[in-house]
Amino acid sequence: MTVRPIRARHGSMAAVPGLSRWWGSRSDTDRIEIYTRWSFHTTLAGLPFLLLLATVSVHRPRGVVWDVALAVAALVTTGACIAVAEAGFRRGTVPRAPLATALVAGAATVGVGLQVVAERDAVGVPSPSGPWYVGLVGAAVLVALSVTTPYRPLVAGSAVTGALAGGVAALRGTPMLGAAIIGLSIVVALAFFVGAFRFSVWLLDVVREQERARGVQAQLAVAEERLRFARDLHDVMGRNLSAIAVKSQLAEQLVRRGRPGAADEVAAIGALAGSSLAEVREVVRGYRAVDLRSELAGARSVLRAAGIDCTVTGEDAQLSEQAQVVLGWVVREAVTNVLRHGSGGACTIAVDTGDREVSLTVTNTVAGDVGAWGSGLTGLSERLAAAGGRLSAGRRDGDFVLVGEVPA
């Protein structure tokens, strides 16, 4: 027996999963904005129905023309208020034309409404429909303005609306005390009602600002990572390329003089190039670790290969991992500067430990003026500052002294 699929008789629910996927694809900020915006629009769209409720109990037949005029004026007021609110959400400004339309149509709604509702109910008590016509129309306009208007002007608008409502109540036969109570009640109700909508807009602005802050934070993280990569690449390649340049010059001189050690120097250049390539790959992966003892041993080997006598003291000091990493970068940058700007002679690297700080001092002879700090020393200073340390560098009695200090 063949089982046929049962088809829905009243359509399908395909739209519901589509709506769920659309809602799920929105960010939290977008969801809050959509909820806030449609809360405004739904509230404003309910104005004609609220006016209808205020009308039906005390409706005074005056002909179809008056009823149609009231409906048209209420709908135009609602549409203009929605346009004002939407412009506030989209552009952050209050458009003059929709606002003027809302005020004129609102005044027409109140005027026509007062003509079609009786001044007194069936038992002769003054009808509250007239004052609440003023209150409802004023509430719609103030809610639309609350998207872009601060709270204090909205409270002032609520006071004006309450005063007008109290005046209408007094003119329609309500005692002065009762009219004052009605006006005050409308002022308080509008102040709380409009304040709630204004708070929703403020909350949306806070969420948007946090979203922008997260975007800026992500951009700063990317910039910081680029800066870190640039510093690492400079520190890694600076020393090795300087050593390659020195060894190339040495190999050139050996070749010209016919010395047998040229092949060894060329082989050393190839080894340095290979190790440089490996280090660059490790920097790109972001997994490269710096060890102070290894850096000191490498500095001694590179400097001696360049014909510079290197003396290292304090290399067996017990340091924290952070201090070893930071001082390892100091050694690397210092050796690069010695190879670039040194004039031969001797180079001394000393590690001194104290109770709270450990310092690394590199002293070597330089030729001429070393000039201002370059990108290498600037990046190194930033590294030490991030670790709570400091860097100083300058000439002392014909030598160039670089001192890096970090917490022990």
Q: How far apart are CA 354 and CA 389, in angstroms?
A: 14
Give the residue-averaged pLDDT of 204-225: 75
Please report which helix (H) or strand (E) contains residue 222, including its range: helix 176-257
* Residue 287 Cα distances to 154, 281, 290, 389, angstroms: 58, 9, 10, 23
Q: What is the DSSP string of 56-125?
A: HTTB----HHHHHHHHHHHHHHHHHHHHHHHHHHHHSS--HHHHHHHHHHHHHHHHHHHHHB-SB-TTSP
Identify whether the C-beta of residue 40 lies closer than 8 Å to the C-beta of residue 143. yes
State the Cα–Cα distance between residues 338 and 299, nearest whole angstrom. Answer: 10
Express each pLDDT in 11-54 by its tens digit. Answer: 444 455 677 777 777 778 888 888 999 999 999 999 989 888 88
In the prediction, which pLDDT does 17 show?
Answer: 63
Average pLDDT, the chain: 82
Instruction: Yes or no: say if 364 and 345 are a contact pair by the CB < 8 Å rule.
Output: yes
Position 94 pLDDT exceeds 80:
yes
Q: Does domain 291-408 have CATH number 3.30.565.10?
A: yes
- Are the C-beta atoms of 78 and 140 separated by less than 8 Å? yes
**pLDDT at 67 > cutoff 80:** yes
pLDDT at 325 over 80: yes
C-alpha separations of 13 from 4, 9, 10, 17, 294 in Å? 20, 12, 10, 7, 68
Model confidence pLDDT, tens digit, residues 130-140? 898 899 999 99
Query: What is the pLDDT, as a whole number, of residue 144?
Result: 94
For the segment 42-52, what is each residue's pLDDT rounded down to a tens digit?
A: 999 999 898 88
Within the chain, which residue ranges are assigned CATH 3.30.565.10?
291-408
pLDDT at 40: 92
Residue 290 has pLDDT above 70, yes or no: no
Q: Supply the pLDDT for residue 99.
A: 93
Q: What are phi and psi of 171, to 5 degrees?
A: -65, -25
Residue 368 sits at φ, ψ, to 5 deg, of: 80, -165
The rounded distance, in Å, linking the Cα atoms of 322 and 325 is 5
**Predicted local confidence at residue 10, as pLDDT:** 44
Spatial neighbors of 395 by CB under 8 A, at least 6 apart, are: 366, 370, 401
